[in-house]
């Protein structure tokens, strides 16, 4: 099933983690942090869609972190990028070369090493960076698809201590 990619598992995991954080005596995280956990940056060029998410790895369920080959930590952010062609119901994963750079509020640039992550017919790209929350991080992404078509995307996310 193409609809049930690791991205869907990730979103469900994050929703469960967010709901679990609502109980107990721990103070709630800032609301803007919760909003950014599940937000995607989306870029469409013709029938090609690029989706990017930046997620604190500490919010990942252990099963999802294992599937992604990522350690959970309060100071690590995972960048997840998917390149798809077609409508949502019929989309197929496209191979691409992804270049990603993160810049924090202090102006420090971090090259993010992106690697392929396959799940059945789907292909995503994942990389991590270390941050020092609270921070705002700008992500600059370049996607080069087979055949040389290039697109760029830029977005920022705020990260807060848990």
- Note the pLDDT tens digit of each residue in 44-99: 988 999 999 999 999 999 998 998 889 999 999 999 999 999 987 788 999 999 99
**Rounded CA separation 63/44 (Å):** 31
149 pLDDT higher than 70: yes
**Rounded CA separation 10/70 (Å):** 13
For the chain, the domains span 6-159
- Percent pLDDT > 70 in the chain is 77
Neighbour tally for 89: CB within 10 Å: 7
Task: Return the minimum-mean-pLDDT range out of 50-54, 65-69, 107-111, 125-129.
Answer: 65-69
Query: What dotted CATH number matches 6-159?
Result: 2.60.40.3340
pTM (predicted TM-score) = 0.77
Strand partners for 92: 85
Q: How far is CA 29 from CA 74, 90, 104, in A?
A: 13, 37, 21
> What pLDDT score does 101 carry?
98
b/e per residue, 116-135, with b = 16+ CB within 10 A? ebeeeebbbbbbbbebebeb
Q: What are phi and psi of 160, to 5 degrees?
A: -125, 155
Strand partners for 66: none
């Amino acid at each position: 099933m193409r609809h049930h990619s690791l991205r869907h598992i990730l979103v469900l995991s994050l929703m469960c983690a967010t709901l679990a954080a609502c109980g107990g005596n721990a103070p709630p995280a800032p609301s803007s942090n919760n909003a950014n956990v599940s937000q995607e940056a989306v870029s469409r060029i013709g029938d090609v869609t690029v989706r990017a998410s930046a997620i604190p790895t500490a919010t990942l369920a252990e099963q999802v972190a294992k599937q992604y080959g990522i350690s959970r930590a309060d100071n690590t952010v995972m960048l997840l990028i998917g390149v798809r062609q077609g409508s949502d119901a019929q989309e197929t994963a496209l191979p691409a070369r992804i270049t990603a750079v993160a810049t924090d509020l202090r102006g420090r640039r971090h090259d993010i090493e992106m690697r392929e992550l396959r799940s059945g017919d789907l292909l995503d790209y994942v990389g991590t960076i270390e941050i020092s929350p609270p921070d705002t991080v700008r992500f600059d992404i370049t996607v080069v698809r087979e055949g040389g078509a290039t697109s760029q995307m830029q977005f920022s996310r705020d990260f807060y201590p848990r």
